[in-house]
Amino acid sequence: MKKNAAKFLNRSVPMVIGVLALSCLSARAQSTAASFTIPSVIVTSPPKIDGTLDDPAWKTAAHAQLQWDISFQRPATEATDAYLLADKKYLYVAFVVKQTENVIATQHTNDQPMPNDDVVRVYFWPSGDTGIEYGFVSNPIGTRYEFSTENTSFSPAWISVGKTTSGGYIVTERIPLNVMRGDGRTTWRVQFDRRVRAANQTFEWAHDPAQGGTDSSLYAGYLNGMTVASAGTRTKPRIGIYGLGQYASAASGGSTSRVGADLSVPLTQTSSFVATFHPDYSNVELDQQSISPTAFPRRFNEVRPFFTQGQNYYNGFNCNDCIDYPLLYTPAIPTPRDGFAIEGKQGELTFGALDAIGISRNDAAQAVSWTSKNRRYQALYQRVAVDVPGIHDVADWTQGVVGNAHNFSVYATVGGERGSLITDAKNGRYAEYGINLYTPKSGLFAAYHDVGSEYGPLDAFNQISDVHGPTLYVFKEFDNKPSSFIQSVIVSQDFGRMRDGTGALNDAYDSFYVTVATRNQLFLGWSSGDSYLNFGPGFAGEANQNGIQFTYGFNTSTPTTFSYNVGRFGAGFLRSPSLSSTVRLTRRGTLTLQAFKNDQTMDNGARNIQWLERASIGYQAGPGESYAVGWRRIIGAGPTFFGQSPFVNATNFSFAFYKRMPMAEIYFAYGNPNMLNTQHDVILKLIQYFGAEKGT
């Protein structure tokens, strides 16, 4: 292990040192006065965090009003006040919300996204507008969630208490300073926002007519006088040691027990060295099985901690109608024996390097990006290499972006694959040239793609090669008054026409979409289009699927959705109805049911019919405890674009329990919902953290 770590450092540290040195040549960005600025009010006696503003300390707090509705680009229709205090250890944040709509708060377990609840959010950039971002989210009953561009596993302990009132709700929060990494400046960037789920509105504090979302330091306000953080913040080293016991059938790999570790050691205030030894990825994650028709390979989410915690440092490329993307697709990397990484930010530079060392295999990646202080210029470079016996595969890409950061940018990406799999350099090329014209409610995104016939890096996501031609995507959103039944209508068009090296049509599509969102949580969608794919002689076909979708309870935790798609799909005619519904069993428990059918009549008279049936129950026992039970059956022969479709008869059952404790986690699971059939094994896993908290 020591030898592997030394090799990694010898390869990667020179690049990081160069990055750090280059960044030091640039003067630190100086904050200037802005119309959205609040002072840091330092207190010696902290306020009570009790879901009220009864404590006299709140009367001295910095105050911000959320007066703009960014969802509909108009003044906010309801009042939201935010308050902020600080001392040497914590930031204290409070929101006072006035709301005429029903208050929605269905999430009871912490550290999980809350897409269906009313929420209030505060965002911090301790190193300025090009530094690491930290977000803290709470719903009206105080359930909390957090995120950071530093680490996708960011989940430190902090406090949020919420209470509903006769006209809305109040949330008070205490956020530790030592979980956020800054460079010592006394002026931070800050933003406050609030989402009203029933009305699909988002109110914010700092705003600009050009912004498309609240989650951008470019349009955030300023928090002045953060002298309590003037020395900079640097998290402690963290090590997570896990012990696992697995009782399994021989077909599932047999019973086993093991011990492993993940660690993170800060190198500077904004960068870290990360390692994993004997990693284990047995945690049961999201159910990814699907029978939705597609002619391309299915892309899966990464769930392994060593890769997820650094994924924000890779694949930052601008791409339109993205082909063969992401350029680093870590699910293609087998679970390594050991892994090492360096990742972080320094000034205007973001960098990452990883080395995943397996048995007779090595996967390595490096990435660096630079963004100018005024956001007009950006440069990115990424390299990925794979070494297995008899194969050396290398791919790299360079991108330059020029724009005004408000409504216009152009970019060029050049690079490609080389090594033992490429017989001619031009056949491994990858290039894309694009232009973006946009406002918060409209956009035009055009590109020209040029991908060689042999391009297909082992650690990239590869859909189709040998494509050369233009693509275009445009959209326009039309908004109505807050009292209107129809709140918004979005119309979009996607077009592409690409040929292969011989001039023959290879990948072409023309798709039209309309979506309608109403005030009573009814959502309607309609799509129509045609596509053509050519993967070689005898492997070409057309799809012209047309569909409708109706959802009631849109953007709530209990939606009911019906969809129906019909049209050509390869060498047959396909009909695909689906129905899904989530109902609340108790205040903390939900039941979700889904039925999906593919019915394809082939041109030769054959018929392929496949069903997916699914049921799942989720129960949120408390802020750090949850249960999940899932059952799924897939039966029949699925739709085929080319060739034959195998008959599938598979059933999967799984159970999972999770409990979060101070500096520790417990997982107990039976089965694995990512498998096609039930995996007969029982897993008990304990993780104990030492030093810093999870993800910090």
Query: What CATH number corresponds to the domain at position 50?
Result: 2.60.40.1190
**Three-state DSSP state, 217:** helix
Q: How high is the pLDDT of residue 384?
A: 97
Of 199, 229, 259, the domain-final residue: 229
Q: How high is the pLDDT of residue 27?
A: 33
- Judgement on whether residues 458 and 394 belong to the same structural domain of the protein: yes
Q: What beta strand segments (E) does 132-290 contain?
A: 134-138, 144-148, 159-165, 168-176, 188-196, 201-204, 221-224, 238-248, 256-268, 271-277
- Judgement on whether residues 267 and 161 belong to the same structural domain of the protein: no
Residue 539 lies in a domain: no
Residue 174 near residue 87 (C-beta atoms within 8 A): no
Q: What is the pLDDT of residues 266-307, one digit of tens each?
A: 888 888 898 888 876 544 444 446 656 665 666 777 777 788
Q: What is the pLDDT of residues 214-256, one digit of tens each?
A: 888 888 999 999 988 765 565 678 888 888 777 777 766 677 7
Residue 124 near residue 188 (C-beta atoms within 8 A): yes
- Judgement on whether residues 400 and 512 belong to the same structural domain of the protein: no
Q: Average pLDDT in the 552-573 region?
A: 90
Residue with tokens 């999940």: 628
Of 229, 248, 265, the domain-final residue: 229
- Judgement on whether residues 209 and 332 belong to the same structural domain of the protein: no
Is residue 379's pLDDT more than 50? Answer: yes
Residue 632 near residue 288 (C-beta atoms within 8 A): no
Q: How high is the pLDDT of residue 212?
A: 78
What phi and psi values does residue 631 have, to the nearest 5 degrees? -135, 135
139 closest CA partner among 102, 84, 194, 201: 194
22 vs 229, higher pLDDT: 229
Is residue 368's pLDDT more than 60? Answer: yes
Q: State CA 40 to chain mean position distance.
A: 31
Q: How high is the pLDDT of residue 209?
A: 79
Separation of alpha carbons 282 and 265, rounded Å:
24
Domain count within the chain: 4
Q: How high is the pLDDT of residue 265?
A: 87
Burial category of 304 from C-beta neighbours within 10 Å (exposed 0-12, middle 13-18, buried 19 and up): buried
Residues in contact with 2: Cβ distance below 8 Å, sequence separation at least 6, in sequence order: none
Residue 608 near residue 600 (C-beta atoms within 8 A): yes
- In angstroms, what CA-CA distances link 685 with 264, 305, 308, 654? 20, 15, 19, 16
Residue 442 lies in a domain: yes
User: Model's pTM, two decimal places?
Assistant: 0.85
Split at pLDDT 50, 70, 90, the class of 521 is confident
- Judgement on whether residues 155 and 279 belong to the same structural domain of the protein: no
Residue 40 lies in a domain: yes
Is residue 486's pLDDT more than 80? Answer: yes
To 5 degrees, how large is the angle CA 51–CA 52–CA 55?
A: 125
* Lowest mean pLDDT segment, chosen from 139-153, 469-483, 675-689: 675-689
Residues in contact with 65: Cβ distance below 8 Å, sequence separation at least 6, in sequence order: 79, 80, 81, 82, 205
Please give the residue range of the domain that contains residue 271: 236-293+545-696
Q: How high is the pLDDT of residue 677?
A: 85
Q: Average pLDDT in the 136-151 region?
A: 93
Q: What is the pLDDT of residues 298-354, one digit of tens each?
A: 677 777 778 887 888 999 999 999 999 999 999 888 888 899 999 988 888 999 999
- Judgement on whether residues 52 and 200 belong to the same structural domain of the protein: yes
**For residue 447, which amino acid is it?**
A
Split at pLDDT 50, 70, 90, the class of 593 is very high
Split at pLDDT 50, 70, 90, the class of 434 is very high
- Judgement on whether residues 607 and 689 belong to the same structural domain of the protein: yes
Residue 299 lies in a domain: no
Mean pLDDT of the chain: 87
Is residue 29's pLDDT more than 50? Answer: no
**For residue 93, which amino acid is it?**
V
- Judgement on whether residues 517 and 629 belong to the same structural domain of the protein: no
Split at pLDDT 50, 70, 90, the class of 258 is confident
- Judgement on whether residues 140 and 214 belong to the same structural domain of the protein: yes
- Please give the full DSSP string across 392-456, using - where no structure is assigned: EEEEEEEEEEEE-SSSEEEEEEEEEEEETT-SSGGGGEEEEEEEEEEETTEEEEEEEEEE-TT--
Q: Average pLDDT in the 621-638 region?
A: 90
Number of helices (H), then strands (E), belonging to the chain: the values are 2, 39
Instruction: Please list the residues that pair with 361 across neighbouring strands.
Output: 358
- Judgement on whether residues 57 and 205 belong to the same structural domain of the protein: yes
Q: Average pLDDT in the 373-401 region?
A: 95
Residue 19 lies in a domain: no
Residue 16 lies in a domain: no
Split at pLDDT 50, 70, 90, the class of 399 is very high
* C-alpha torsion angle, residues 96, 98, 99, 104 (rounded to 10): 10
- Judgement on whether residues 219 and 88 belong to the same structural domain of the protein: yes
Is residue 2's pLDDT more than 50? Answer: no
- Please give the full DSSP string across 444-508, using - where no structure is assigned: EEEEEEEE-TT---TTS-----SEEEEEEEEEEEEE--TT-SEEEEEEEEEEEEEE-TTS-EEEE
Split at pLDDT 50, 70, 90, the class of 86 is very high
* Lowest mean pLDDT segment, chosen from 86-100, 164-178, 239-253, 323-337: 239-253
Residue with tokens 């970019």: 411
Q: How high is the pLDDT of residue 366?
A: 97
Q: How high is the pLDDT of residue 423?
A: 94
Separation of alpha carbons 438 and 441, rounded Å:
8
Residue 88 lies in a domain: yes
Residues in contact with 468: Cβ distance below 8 Å, sequence separation at least 6, in sequence order: 449, 450, 451, 498, 499, 500, 501, 506
Of 229, 248, 267, the domain-final residue: 229
**Three-state DSSP state, 641:** coil
What phi and psi values does residue 313 have, to the nearest 5 degrees? -95, 0
Separation of alpha carbons 575 and 602, rounded Å:
12
Residue 21 lies in a domain: no
483 vs 465, higher pLDDT: 465
- Judgement on whether residues 206 and 94 belong to the same structural domain of the protein: yes
Separation of alpha carbons 347 and 269, rounded Å:
11
- Measured from the Cβ of residue 21, the count of other Cβ atoms closer than 10 Å reads 10
Q: Average pLDDT in the 61-65 region?
A: 96
Residue 664 near residue 658 (C-beta atoms within 8 A): no
